């Protein structure tokens, strides 16, 4: 037997756990750089690192489906949207000295409070519970897909209809068929 499955201890970390902590530190650093850098484009790129680091953490926790969703949605679309926003609003490429808000200390307090609450909730909820990730993977694509397309197939299909309705609505609200454009 291996250590991870048989020995619910925290003082003899396996390779996966070491990697988890290291990636976590990198993610935290990238997140800090995102909010402290004075260059808007750099902030967006550090955000990629932070969100990508989170995806790696999910992967290490065997939640591969969530990991790829994280990559697709956050790293893929949200950051791209952000960069497009920077491009379209002609944001300055270099350092922006006015990038600091007067509310930064309030923001810091809120962020620390939120992080503290989350950490406390997670620590309090699990404490020393040992969850064996070697068992049947709950977060794997296979399990998620099987549940989604067996038990939740009707809500899933209804959601696709919702997307279609939203698409029709977006076209109705934005379509211009005049000759002048």
Partner 1 sequence: MSATAAAVHSLWTTRALADTAATPAIPTPHIEYAQLSPVLIVFGAAVLGVLIEAFAPRAARYAGQLAVSVVGLAAAFAALVALAADGYAQGRSHVAAMGAVAVDGPALFLQGTIVLIALVATFTFAERRLDPVAHGNRVDSFAAQGSAVPGGEQEQKAVRAGFTTTEVFPLLLFAVAGMMIFPAADDLLTLFVSLEVFSLPLYLLCALARRRRLMSQEASVKYFLLGAFSSAILLFGIALLYGYAGTVSYGGIADVVDGTAKLTPALANTTGNDALLLIGGAMVVMGLLFKVAAVPFHMWTPDVYQGAPTPVTGFMAAAVKVAAFGALLRLLYVVLPGMRWDWRPVMWGVAIVTMVVGAIIAVTQTDVKRLLAYSSIAHAGFLLTGVIAVSPSGVSSVLFYLVAYSFVTLGGFAVVTLVRDAGGEATHLSKWAGLGRRSPLLAAVFAVFLLSFAGIPLTAGFSGKFAVFKAAAQGGAVPLVVVGVISSAIAAFFYIRVIVMMFFQEPQPQGPTVAIPSPLTSTAIALGVAVTLVLGVAPQYFLDLAGKAGVFVR
Residue from 59, 66, 70, 75 touching partner 1 (CB under 8 A): that is 59
Alpha-carbon Rg of the chain, whole angstroms? 22
Q: How far is the CB of 147 from partner 1 (least distance, A)?
A: 9
Are 34 and 50 in contact, with CB atoms under 8 Å apart?
yes
Pattern 75-114, binding to partner 1, x per CB under 8 A?
Answer: ----------------------------------------
Q: How far is the CB of 166 from partner 1 (least distance, A)?
A: 6
Burial of 78 (C-beta count, 10 Å sphere; 0-12/13-18/19+): middle
Considering only residues 22, 32, 107, 159, which one is a binding residue for partner 1 as defined by CB under 8 A?
159
Task: With residue 170 as reference, give the H or E element that holds it.
Answer: helix 153-174
Q: Are 35 and 61 contacting, i.e. CB atoms less than 8 angstroms apart?
A: no
* Binding to partner 1 in span 137-156, by CB under 8 A: 137, 140, 142, 145-146, 149-155
Binds partner 1 (CB under 8 A): choice among 94, 97, 102, 178 = 178
d(CA 147, CA 153): 8
Q: How many CB atoms lie within 10 A of CB 79?
A: 17
For partner 1, which stretch binds (CB under 8 A), given 18-26, 37-45, 83-91, 134-142?
134-142
In three-state secondary structure terms, 92 is coil
Is 169 an interacting residue with respect to partner 1 (CB under 8 A)? yes
SS3 of residue 89 by DSSP: coil
In whole angstroms, what is the distance from residue 46 CA to residue 79 CA? 10
Q: State the minimum distance, in angstroms, from the CB of residue 70 to partner 1.
A: 15
Q: Is 162 in the site for partner 1 (CB under 8 A)?
A: yes
Residues that bind partner 1 (CB under 8 A): 1-5, 14, 16, 59-60, 62, 64, 133-137, 140, 142, 145-146, 149-155, 158-159, 161-162, 164-166, 168-169, 171-178, 180
């Amino acid at each position: 037997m291996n250590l991870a499955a048989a020995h619910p201890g925290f003082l003899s970390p396996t390779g996966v756990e070491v990697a988890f902590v290291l990636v976590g530190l990198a993610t935290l650093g990238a997140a800090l750089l995102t909010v402290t850098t004075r260059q808007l484009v750099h902030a967006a790129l550090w955000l990629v690192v932070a969100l990508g680091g989170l995806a790696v953490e999910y992967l290490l926790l065997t939640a591969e489906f969530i990991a790829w969703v994280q990559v697709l949605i956050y790293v893929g679309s949200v950051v791209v949207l952000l960069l497009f926003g920077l491009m379209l609003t002609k944001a300055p490429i270099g350092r922006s000295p006015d990038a600091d808000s007067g509310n930064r200390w309030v923001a810091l307090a809120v962020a620390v409070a939120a992080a503290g609450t989350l950490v406390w909730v997670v620590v309090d909820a699990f404490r020393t519970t040992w969850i064996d990730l070697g068992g049947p993977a709950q977060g794997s694509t296979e399990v998620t897909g099987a549940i989604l397309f067996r038990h939740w197939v009707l809500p899933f299909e209804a959601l696709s209809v919702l997307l279609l309705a939203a698409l029709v609505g977006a076209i109705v609200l934005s379509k211009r068929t005049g000759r002048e454009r």
